[in-house]
Amino acid sequence: MKFLFDIDTWQEIYSSIRKNKIRTAITIIGVMWGIFLLVVLLGAAKGVENNFNKLFGSFATNSVFIWAQSTSKPFKGFQEGRKLTLKMSDLKSIRSEIKGLDFVVPRHQTQAVATNNFKSGTFGIYGDYPELNVVQKKDLVYGRFINENDILENKKVCVIEEEIYKQLFDKDEYPIGQYIKINNINYKLVGMYKEGSLRTGGPQGSIHIPFTTFQQVYNRGNTIGWLMITGKPEFDISQIEADVKLLLKNLHKVNPEDNRAFGSFNLGERIAQVTGFLTGMQFLTWFVGIATLIAGVFAIGNILLITVKERTKEIGIRRALGAKPWEIKRQIILESVFLTSVAGALGIIGGGLVLMLIDATMGKGHDASLTNPTVDIPVILIAFATLVFLGTLIGLIPAQRAVSIKPIEALREE
């Protein structure tokens, strides 16, 4: 190990590199590019994943939305094209007959103009139960969400999204206790929340009022707009989706084969798709990065082979002067390891800088496409260690070649 700290060792690496400046630079770029790609792509993939988790983090991911449409098949004397509506009684049946349910949250939805003094805008109006705040956690800035009492007493209260606050109120105005007018009815504001990146209310923003109030104000009787159903983690949400739809078909006298009678959106399935895609992306990243790395390391091995060939005579002289084969070999291996390490370090630094740049440009604000693109330190260390290992391994080839010819033949070389 002493030779690692010997100036001569490094001086020789330096002079060997200096003699082949351009070629060395080009080969270093190979390895650098490989690890750079690895760092940037892994970081970006992580950023996309983080963003995705942030988007759905406040969401019960094991969930499905179900709504009623029109029948597409005649059944038991009913014509096809019959319009269907979900009823409050369906809720009870679902809760009692379907296994593995966590929450069944009915909702209503419409659009209306809301005004506060002279400010106004068109927003999505939702009739909601307190449970919504469980399956889609609201990040409340002020006040509270709709509670049981609001439901029981059909209270004229509302909870708004921050976006709406910005449109209807002056800056720094305290919104709680103020009144908003929707369809000529005054609602007392009881809560305001910050929306996540995923705007569930659509682009125009959402105002939540008690479900029962919604039914009353908009004459919805005992109907339900749509259902949000979440399953217990150990239950398959797709199975729940199928079971609920079958039950609903039964309750509404719909042909069990009628696939258009009830619509649904399975969030769990979608998330599984995206997660699968992300995993695939990471796998691809590793593949591309490692393939490039190996190609780069081979390039370094190749340049060393050429260098060794060019230095045959010099190596012959050294051996005539008493250099033992191992002393020649370790020098070349060290050179290989040195080149791969420098290239690796530069690639990692470059990749890190690019990730910082990506974070600064694409990772900020509302509609950020990436969140916190990073690569774990252990991953970097493993990649680096692999690189050094490959560098050593590939260095063995030129090193062996350097001592494979007899000193006298090396000396004869011109």
Partner 1 sequence: MIKLHNLHKSYPIGKDSLHVLKGLDLHIREGEFVSIMGSSGSGKSTLLNIVGLLDTHDSGDYFLNGQRIENLNEKKAAILRNKFLGFVFQSFNLINYKNALENVALPLYYKGIGRKERQVTALQYLEKVGLKERAYHLPSELSGGEKQRVAIARALVTNPKVVLADEPTGALDSTTSHSVMELLKEINREGMTVFVITHEEDIAEETDRIVRLRDGVIISDKRVIKKAIV
Q: List residues binding partner 1 (CB under 8 A).
A: 6-8, 15, 18-19, 313-314, 317-327, 403, 406-408, 411
Distance CA(266)–CA(229), nearest Å, equals: 10
Instruction: Between 10 and 235, name the residue whose CB sits nearer to partner 1.
Output: 10
CA-wise closest residue to 244 among 224, 264, 260, 258: 264
Minimum CB separation of residue 316 from partner 1 in Å reads 8
Minimum CB separation of residue 328 from partner 1 in Å reads 9
Instruction: Between 309 and 406, name the residue whose CB sits nearer to partner 1.
Output: 406
Rg of the chain over CA atoms, in angstroms? 34
Instruction: Between 215 and 331, name the residue whose CB sits nearer to partner 1.
Output: 331
Distance CA(29)–CA(340), nearest Å, equals: 10
Which residue intervals of 209-324 are DSSP H helices?
A: 211-217, 237-251, 267-310, 312-320
Instruction: Between 246 and 411, name the residue whose CB sits nearer to partner 1.
Output: 411
Minimum CB separation of residue 339 from partner 1 in Å reads 18
Distance CA(164)–CA(142), nearest Å, equals: 14
Minimum CB separation of residue 3 from partner 1 in Å reads 10
Contact 19, 304 (CB under 8 A): no
Minimum CB separation of residue 26 from partner 1 in Å reads 21
Instruction: Tell me whether strands 157-161 and 179-182 are parallel, antiparallel or unpaired.
Output: unpaired
Instruction: Between 240 and 410, name the residue whose CB sits nearer to partner 1.
Output: 410
End-to-end Cα, the chain, rounded Å: 33
Query: Chain centroid to CA 243: how far?
Result: 31
Instruction: Between 323 and 362, name the residue whose CB sits nearer to partner 1.
Output: 323
Kindly provide the b/e burial profile for residues 64-79, where b requires at least 16 CB atoms within 10 angstroms of the residue's own CB. Answer: bbbbbeebebebeeee
Minimum CB separation of residue 342 from partner 1 in Å reads 20
Instruction: Between 8 and 367, name the residue whose CB sits nearer to partner 1.
Output: 8
Minimum CB separation of residue 329 from partner 1 in Å reads 11
3-state secondary structure of 124: strand
Minimum CB separation of residue 393 from partner 1 in Å reads 23
CA-wise closest residue to 338 among 10, 3, 36, 2: 10
Instruction: Between 277 and 326, name the residue whose CB sits nearer to partner 1.
Output: 326
Burial label for 392, CB within 10 Å (0-12, 13-18, 19+), is middle
191, β-bridge pairs: 143, 159
Contact 282, 72 (CB under 8 A): no
**Two structure tokens written together for 353:** 């800088």
Of how many residues is the chain composed?
A: 414
Minimum CB separation of residue 374 from partner 1 in Å reads 44
Instruction: Between 380 and 403, name the residue whose CB sits nearer to partner 1.
Output: 403
Minimum CB separation of residue 281 from partner 1 in Å reads 48
Instruction: Between 2 and 171, name the residue whose CB sits nearer to partner 1.
Output: 2
Dihedral (Cα; 268, 269, 275, 280), 10-degree rounding: 170
Burial label for 60, CB within 10 Å (0-12, 13-18, 19+), is buried
Distance CA(338)–CA(349), nearest Å, equals: 16
